[in-house]
Amino acid sequence: MGEVRGGGGGCCPPMNLFRSEPMQLVQLIIPMESAHVTVSYLGDLGLLQFKDLNADKSPFQRTYAAQIKKSGEMARRLRFFKDQMLKAGFSPKKSATQADINIDDLEVKLAEIEAELVEINANGEKLQRAYNELVEYKLVLQKASEFFHSARSSAAEQQSEYASRQIGEESLDTPLLLEQEMSTDSSKQVKLGFITGLVPRQKYMAFERILFRATRGNVFLRQAVVEDPVTDPISGEKVEKNVFVVFYSGERAKNKILKICEAFGANRYPFSEDLNKQDHLVTEVSGRLSELKTTIDVGLLQRDNLLQTIGDQFEQWEFLVRKEKSIYHTLNMLSLDVTKKCLVAEGWSPVFGTKLIQDALQRASFDSNSQVGAIFQVLQTKELPPTYFRTNKFTSPFQEIVDAYGVAKYQEANPTVYTIVTFPFLFAVMFGDWGHGICLLLATLFLIIREKKFSSQKLGDIMEMMFGGRYCILMMALFSIYTGLIYNEFFSVPFELFAPSAYACRDLSCRDSTTMGLIKVRPTYPFGVDPVWHGSRSELPFLNSLKMKMSILLGVAQMNLGIILSYCNAKFFRNGVNVWFQFIPQLIFLNSLFGYLSLLILVKWSTGSKADLYHVMIYMFLSPTDDLGENQLFAGQKTLQLVLLLLAFVAVPWMLIPKPFILKKQHQDRHQGHSYTLLESSEDNFQLGANHDSHDHEEFEFSEVFVHQLIHTIEFVLGSVSNTASYLRLWALSLAHSELSSVFYDKLLMLAWGYNNVIILIVGIIVFICATVGVLLVMETLSAFLHALRLHWVEFQNKFYEGDGYKFYPFSFAWTGDEDELSL
Amino acid sequence: MYGFEALTFNVDGGYLEAIVRGHRAGLLTASDYNNLCQCENLDDIKMHLSATEYGPYLQNEPSPLHTTTIVEKCTLKLVDEYKHMLCQATEPLSTFLEYITYGHMIDNVVLIVTGTLHERDVHELLEKCHPLGMFDSIATLAVAQNMRELYRLVLVDTPLAPYFSECITSEDLDDMNIEIMRNTLYKAYLEDFYRFCQKLGGATAEIMSDLLSFEADRRAVNITINSIGTELTRDDRRKLYSNFGLLYPYGHEELAVCEDIDQVRGVMEKYPPYQSIFAKMSYGESQMLDKAFYEEEVKRLCLAFEQQFHYAVFFAYMRLREQEIRNLMWISECVAQNQKSRVHDSVVFIF
């Protein structure tokens, strides 16, 4: 929340939301020794936006580059701790005790802890590596002895067979090669060597292929799959591996195989043929494994303890480091005085903050035992100040809606004030259903009630957006309940809420046919649409005509509001030209055409006339002098029309021609008087100066200004037609919404109901709920939201809103907290 | 010449072209280089780079930095970007992207083979290899004793296999042979890449043929200069030149008989695009030639971005990024060794 003071909770903000806060450019001269404290206090205050006075210097040439490096290093250490904690499954806790800690001490401490942690990790890794190697060795021993066993048994069989035929048998060296061995001449028999080890399964195929190629097939390779992934001793990652045994003959082949093993990252382990030795090895390895295991566990425990202590204070450290870094970043933006004894800061602050800033400066110089206090002075400038609205949690979503289009120019009329009401209202016009409204209300109430909990935790992207706009959604829900009651829609079921329907059937045949057969039996339905319209054949024509006319009324009203706001702006900036040659003709033009249409609608509603308004409007242009005939709504209408038409035609050149000429004249006057007039030291000059800044410096290009004005005029004239038509989307979306909900109700729920079958009914209800939530509550909300947004951005704001300002971003520690963890 | 690439290019290539153009916008600019050149130590460089796209990659490096770390991390960024693009690419762009790495593969093969010849540790060598040119069985290269084995054992599985067909001899590997092998492989690679680009047609073919011709011509000049005074015969030298490019075929004939640098210069000055490069150098000098060629290459690579709907931007981007990493390496080395006066000797500004 950007709220600074006041305006909290439910209290409505003072009208200062209409104009952005008055700002001033201030200069601070801060003695070197108290600079750090001062900036820190100003950051706590959060009311000053520092200007970068060293923009031309690269980051490492600035005054405090070394300190930034230092805090960057600390941030890196903290990231390292965080990483380690994540790996070990700890999460940094909020520490209850806020131990007071100095940043210099912290630096030393962090370095110590890092060194300790690194050492523990290194030891642990060494042990782990030894452990993993032993595990692999054990696997090799197991698997390889299986090979030898199976081979030996099969060899023994063959041997006994063979022995029966041949006498004088030597002991077998490698039973696996028995067949070949035996078939060759026994004198040629050579001692075969073998290598055992583990190779990653992914690489096994390539390994086998290369072995084959390198030795031209003169190897014998056996492999077995290790079922569970093995931790690789070198990389420390879990890898699926195969145990292999390669038999070879000759020294050259051995060298080649060794090289290939190395290249493939295959870990080799010694293996003995002797059975006894094998058993001995297995027991030895197992013994060492359990030994290592306990050592590793102790090491892990030690590390966990260390991480635990880090975790307790991590948040505090993180905050401290981040704060430190932002302070030095800010200090780097200040320029060094020639004497190198003080720093000069410039920045924007709201006028109301003057006192607070001065207080902070005083406190800072007191706390830092500085001999001279910081100097605070206001500078005069022609630069356009940043725009700063003090919003609270209720107004901020609406301000964001407006800011998304463009940040208001400094002190420009802020449409947010009106958007707070008109936005949810226009939304509700398109989303009129009090059933759906209640659903929306419940959803947003959930968010609002659990506000405290949600605001402290990190939410997902979409959730974040929903949560941010919870009060906007609340308003939208309330208004859509209201319009829903007017439309008399509740999931497209009509209710006789306020009174029984005013109409009744004359006889039984009239039901479902038209409204013609109905007679009025009671006084008019007191609020909203009479429920009897629902389901009748003339429902659509009736509602269409109602909603269409309502849309035009709302549109014309909102556009008029926009034009009036342009008057407020012109008045505020003392721009008489805009009042006389923009505001007045625009008002006349819009109202003489569409204001008149609105008047006709109102008259028609109140008198119940059957006049054709299309006809009236069209023939007002085509043949204004013709008699209106049966379309006449009131006396003197023809004369009024002629006058209005004339006014509209006059308004166009009025808008177009005088303004550029007047601007030209003003420009010339200003330049003639340039060298003679004294500098006026009044406030107004500053105000105006900001406004006319561009004119003072630029050459006045008449043709450009004229073309600009031409475009504006054309845009307004065409726009008043197209914008009015654009408001018809209110009707269209409202129609679509009610039609969709009636389709879901009739074709799903009622259809399922009609089968008289519980299962079908349940399925029907489930589908109905899904369709209602998915299509009506989610998609329709989105589309109505977007259309309301468009109506505000385009149709309403283009009448007055410039939106070319820039936002006020004060240096504040509350902001730095929002940023991503320890980035920068 | 132009097909209807604009009509269909964006179906497959639009996203990646946008990506690569975005990456290109992240290349360091002249003002960045100016700032970097003023750095006092490697931490300053890190600090400056942390404000650029390299930031996240250098962020977690502890403070006593080394030049190798900087270069390694910068290369890692390039590799990450390349892998991302390769994953997103469809045919024929993916093949095109793979072609870009073959050059690194050749360099890596040569590096390993030379290294093993001089009995260096394989793992040490592997660390020096360019990560873009890695393939599965690269470590096995150390096993091979001669070229035939090299081919039969390892390279037959790699994309380089077809290029080897020209240089299979059963001679033992020695420095000279390896160098010849490198150039033969490069020749075959460039020719293959050139053919591939011609097959793609359109703007890709046009721009890539310009870029590859330049590459081929530069290699021809380098081969000539490096082989002056060695026992390489004229015919052998002639065989190493790629069969395309601006110099092909008449320039090659002339280059083949060159005996000193001034003769090379004489040959090259007949070709207008290369005149400007040689005009900058005084007679008998060849040190600055590399830089002059790099500058010309960078100019041409930047021009590739002027046109849309073609693949050459990917090639150009990879090359520019590599040049940038070379620049960073040079600057870091100069800063680390306190040779700041020489910083400008080999830095090629990209923009």
Chain segment A467-500, per-residue pLDDT in tens = 889 999 999 999 999 999 999 888 888 888 888 8
**How does residue A510 score in pLDDT terms, banded at 50, 70 and 90?**
low
- Beta strands A230-231 and A238-239 are antiparallel
Return the bridge partners of A26, or none. A347, A378
A769 bridge partner residues: none
Nearest-CA distance B160 → chain A (Å): 17
User: Phi and psi dihedrals of A21, rounded to 5?
Assistant: -55, 140
Between CA A153 and CA A148 the distance in angstroms is 8
Helix, strand, or coil (residue A597): helix
pLDDT at B2: 52
* Alpha carbons A38 and A30: distance in angstroms, whole number: 8
Q: In sequence order, what are the beta bridge partners of B173? A: none
> Could you tell me which residues are beta bridge partners of residue A376?
A28
For the beta carbon of residue A67, count every other beta carbon within 10 angstroms: 19
The crossing angle, in degrees rounded to 10, of helices A613-622 and A596-607 is 140
Q: How far is B230 from chain A (nearest CA, A)?
A: 34
Q: Is residue B47 within 8 Å of A66, Cβ to Cβ?
A: no
Nearest residue to A106 via CA among A145, A135, A78: A78
According to the model, what pLDDT value does residue A174 have?
47
Top-confidence range, A139-153, A173-187, B17-31 = B17-31
Q: Nearest by CB to B153, from A58, A65, A210: name it.
A: A210
For A213, the closest of B44, B63, B153 (CB atoms) is B153
**By three-state DSSP, how is residue A273 classified?**
coil
For chain A positions 359-418, those within 8 Å of chain B (CB to CB) are none
Q: In a 3-state reduction of DSSP, which class is residue A438? A: helix
The candidate with the shortest Cα–Cα distance to B187, out of B161, B170, B166, is B166
Tell me which amino acid residue A115 is: A
Q: Are B153 and A60 within 8 A, CB to CB?
A: no
Q: How far apart are the first and last CA of chain B?
A: 30
A68 CB neighbours in chain B (<8 A) are 47
Chain B residue at shortest CA distance from A207: B137
User: Backbone phi, then psi, for A25, in 5-degree steps?
Assistant: -90, 120
User: Does residue B242 sit in helix, strand or coil?
Assistant: coil
Calculate the CA dihedral of residues B154, B158, B159, B164 and round it to 10 degrees. 10
Query: Can you name the residues that pair with A242 across neighbouring β-strands?
Result: A199, A225
Single out the residue of A276, A312, A550 nearest to residue A432, CA to CA: A550
- Spell B217-231 as b/e; 16+ CB within 10 A means b: bbbbbbbbbebbeee
Of B329, B328, B345, B337, the closest CA to residue B40 belongs to B337
Round to whole Å and give the CA distance between A21 and A410: 8
Q: What is the mean pLDDT of residues A671-681?
A: 55
Calpha distance A47→A810 (Å, rounded): 5
- Angle between helices A470-487 and A461-468 in degrees, nearest 10: 70
- Residues of chain B that touch chain A, judged by Cβ-Cβ distance less than 8 Å: 35, 38-40, 43-44, 47-48, 50-51, 59-63, 122, 136-137, 139-143, 149, 152-154, 157
User: Do B136 and A60 lie within an 8 Å CB cutoff?
Assistant: no
| pLDDT average, residue stretch A286-310 | 86
Phi/psi-derived region of residue A177, left when phi > 0, alpha when psi is between -120 and 50, beta in every other case: alpha
**By the 8 A CB rule, do B140 and A260 touch?**
yes
CB within 8 A of A333, min separation 6: which ones?
A50, A51, A52, A53, A54, A345
Q: Name the nearest CA neighbour of A479 among A417, A431, A428, A443.
A: A428
Average pLDDT on B221-245 reads 85
Do B116 and B122 touch, CB atoms closer than 8 A? Answer: yes
Here the tokens at position B230 are 């060695």
Q: Where does residue A792 rank: exposed (0-12), middle (13-18), buried (19+ CB within 10 A)?
A: buried
More confident residue, A689 or A740: A740
First to last CA, chain A: 23
Contact between B335 and B39 under an 8 Å Cβ cutoff? The reply is: yes
Tokens of B170: 């059963």
Residue A263 and residue B139: Cβ atoms within 8 Å?
Answer: yes
Smallest Cα distance from B290 to chain A, Å: 31
Mean pLDDT of all residues belonging to chain B: 85
Residues of A in contact with B58 (CB under 8 A): none
Instruction: Answer whether B47 sits within 8 Å of A210, measured CB to CB.
Output: no
What pLDDT, in 10s, does the model give residues B164-190?
A: 877 666 566 777 788 888 888 899 999
Interface with A, mutate which of B33, B143, B149 (most A CBs under 10 A): B143
pLDDT tens, A703-750?
A: 999 999 999 999 999 999 999 999 999 999 999 999 999 888 888 888
Environment class of residue A185 by beta-carbon count within 10 Å: exposed (0-12), middle (13-18) or buried (19+)?
exposed
Contact (Cβ atoms closer than 8 angstroms) between residue A401 and residue A472:
yes
DSSP state of A748: I
Half-sphere exposure of B136 (CA within 13 A, CB side): 16
Taking an 8 Å cut-off on Cβ atoms, the answer to whether A210 and B137 are in contact is yes
Kindly list the distances between the CA atom of residue A709 and the CA atoms of A655, A664, A706, B260, B348, in Å, as whole numbers in the listed order. 8, 13, 5, 72, 50
Check: CB of residue B79 under 8 Å from CB of residue B132: yes
Residue A336, min C-alpha distance to chain B (Å): 21
Q: Residue by residue, what is the 3-state secondary structure of A513-535?
A: CCCCCEEECCCCCCCCCCHHHCC
Continuous segment of H or E residues that includes residue A504: strand A503-505
Question: Per-residue pLDDT averaged across A138-162, rounded?
Answer: 76
Considering only CB atoms, A210 lies closest to which of B51, B61, B140, namely: B140
Cβ-nearest to B47 among A59, A209, A263: A59
pLDDT digits (tens, 9 = 90+) for B311-332: 999 999 999 999 999 989 988 8
Closest residue by Cα to residue A590 from A801, A799, A802, A416? A799
Q: What is residue A15's predicted lDDT score, i.e. its pLDDT?
A: 59
Q: How many residues does chain B have?
A: 351
Structure tokens at A371: 């001999």
* 8 A C-beta contact, residue B314 and residue B322: no
pLDDT of residue A421: 94
Burial of B102 per CB tally in 10 Å (0-12, 13-18, 19+): buried
Tens digits of residue pLDDT in A314-366: 888 888 888 888 888 888 888 887 777 888 888 999 988 888 888 988 888 88
The whole-angstrom separation of Cα A337 and Cα A471 is 48
pLDDT over 70 (residue A14): no
Name the token pair of B13: 């290539």
Contacts with A79 from chain B: Cβ below 8 Å: 59-60
Q: How far apart are CA A726 and CA A724, in angstroms?
A: 5
**What pLDDT is attached to residue A698?**
57
Helix H or strand E segment including A148: helix A103-165
Q: Which among B122, B140, B141, B154 is the top mutation candidate for probing chain A, defined by the most A β-carbons within 10 Å of its own β-carbon?
A: B140
Q: Which residues of B255-284 are buried (b: 16+ CB within 10 A; e: fewer)?
A: bbebeebeebbebbeeeeebeebbeebeee
- Provide the edge-to-edge strand list for the sheet that holds A267-269: A220-225, A241-248, A193-200, A267-269
Cβ-based contacts of A107 with chain B (< 8 Å): none
Rounded Cα gap, residues A665 and A569, in angstroms: 22
Q: For residue B350, what pLDDT is reported?
A: 72
Q: Which residues contact A231 (CB under 8 A, 6 or more apart)?
A: A128, A132, A135, A237, A238, A239
Is B140's CB within 8 Å of A263's CB?
Answer: yes
Of B48, B141, B154, the CB nearest to A59: B48
The pLDDT mean for chain A works out to 82
Q: Is the separation of the CB atoms in A306 and A113 below 8 Å? A: yes
Tell which wins on pLDDT, A410 or A183.
Answer: A410
| pLDDT higher than threshold 90 for residue A426 | yes
- Tokens matching residue A114: 């890092």
- CA-based nearest residue in chain B for residue A254: B143
pLDDT of residue A516: 62
Tokens for A818, please give them. 């929002």
In chain B, domain spans: 1-80+281-350
pLDDT tens, position by position, A362-414:
888 888 887 788 888 888 888 889 999 888 888 999 999 999 999 999 888 99
Q: Give B-chain residues touching A213 at CB under 8 angstroms.
A: 152-153
| SS3 category, A364 | helix
CA distance B191 to chain A (A): 29
pLDDT digit string, tens, across residues A514-559:
556 677 778 888 888 888 888 777 888 889 999 999 999 999 999 9
